[in-house]
Amino acid sequence: MQAHHTERGIGALGALIVFLLFLVFLGILWAATGGPQRSLSHSGPFLKPPTAPGVELKEGAVKGSTFEADGTTIREVTVEADSLLNYFFNNPKGGTNTADSPYANDVEIRRGNSDAANPNEEYIIIETSRSMTRNITITGWMLESRTTGIRAPIGSAAQVFMLGGVSSELPITIGPNSIVYITTGRSPNGASFRINKCSGYLEQYQDFEPGLDADCPDPADEALANPQKTGTNTACIDFIDNVRRCELYADTIPYEVGSQCRDFILNDLSYNGCVNRHRNDPDFYINEWRVFLNRQQELWNNTHEQIRLLDENGKLIGSLTY
């Protein structure tokens, strides 16, 4: 009988030890994820705190969000996470996902093709809102992986890229409704640049990711606009009708089109010729940029990644998590 009571005592003691160890583990986990400094530890007894007068919270904002009390004001803190555990593990002690940059409401960072293994195909996207009322310079901003700690600064770009010459790169200033593709690898043409109405020519012999739109001026319209070279030559006009948009003609040009027409086809119907002819057009520039970080290896993890966009003062503009 005494042995039976002893076994029961040992069993109870073992259960107590397991319970205490579990509490210790929870304490370590709590401390490792911020402890008393974490905003969640001060959020009070409510799963969704009551809204202060005059403050409207978005419907469904509890998922992926937390709320911090600042006096009588309840402030929404956006969390790029799928769950509470994902929030903890993606936000180490001292980190924040609170967008505190003055550009946060005007700029969005999107995933693009960030899970590509080839650095020349790996890119993320920055977009500005249509309602933005100012121009902003993004050169000097920083992209950061919260998973690896790697940072990559956004550099300069050519306002007007020219083939075969030196294209001066200047700080990138973008306006409303702009899109910037930031590729990890190297540029196929050796430069970061702004897209214009002639940029489709660059895709003929170089492979951009994503591809450049073939939306150059129509060759037939170009011929009609240059009658001094093509206007009285029916064979020239007929030939140019079959020249493809955004492509430098690379095959043999028939003799009967004439030397002036041949010169027009080879020089004017080219990227540089298009730029020289149209760079003063009001619709020459497109609100799109191609920026290259010139890295030889991919920057972003294919899974379980968080990429943050920081402004020139290190403040968070936005982030994406996948």
Residue 167 pLDDT greater than 90, yes or no: no
Q: Is the same domain home to 25 and 82?
A: yes
Q: Is the same domain home to 23 and 86?
A: yes
Q: Is the same domain home to 297 and 167?
A: yes
Q: Is the same domain home to 72 and 117?
A: no
Q: Is the same domain home to 169 and 36?
A: no
Last residue of a domain, one of 38, 56, 90: 90
Among residues of the chain, what percentage have pLDDT more than 70? Answer: 71
Domain harbouring 145, CATH code = 2.60.40
Mean pLDDT to the nearest integer, 195-215: 97
Please give, one letter per residue, the 3-state secondary structure of the chain: CHHHHHHHHHHHHHHHHHHHHHHHHHHHHHHHCCHHHCHHHHCCCCCCCCCCCCCCCCCCCCCCEEEEEECCEEEEEECCCCCHHHHHHHCCCCCCCCCCCCCCCCEEEECCCCCCCCCCCCEEEEEECCCCCCCEECCCCEEEECCCCCEEECCCEECCCCCCCCCCEECCEECCCCEEEEECCCCCCCCCEEEECCHHHHHCCCCCCCCCCCCCCCHHHHHHCCHHHHCCCHHHHHHHCCCCCCCCCCCCCCHHHCHHHHHHHHHHCCHHHHHHHHCCCCCCEEEEEEEECCCCCCCCCCCCCEEEEECCCCCEEEEEEC
pTM: 0.71
Residue 171 pLDDT greater than 80, yes or no: yes
* Confidence bin at 68 (pLDDT 50/70/90): very low
* Confidence bin at 228 (pLDDT 50/70/90): confident
pLDDT value of position 52: 40
Please give the residue that has the higher pLDDT: either 26 or 202: 202
Residue 179 lies in a domain: yes
Q: Is the same domain home to 188 and 287?
A: yes
- Residue pLDDT, tens place only, 137-160: 999 999 999 999 999 999 999 999
Mean pLDDT to the nearest integer, 285-301: 97
pLDDT value of position 92: 44
Q: Is the same domain home to 240 and 295?
A: no
Q: Is the same domain home to 84 and 118?
A: no
Residue 100 lies in a domain: no
Q: Is the same domain home to 312 and 247?
A: no
pLDDT value of position 76: 42
pLDDT value of position 45: 42
The total number of structural domains that make up the chain: 3
Domain residue limits at 46: 2-90
Q: Is the same domain home to 268 and 288?
A: no
Residue 28 lies in a domain: yes
Residue 206 lies in a domain: no
Q: Is the same domain home to 10 and 66?
A: yes
Question: Mean pLDDT, the chain, as a whole number?
Answer: 81
Mean pLDDT to the nearest integer, 227-243: 89
Q: Is the same domain home to 253 and 137?
A: no
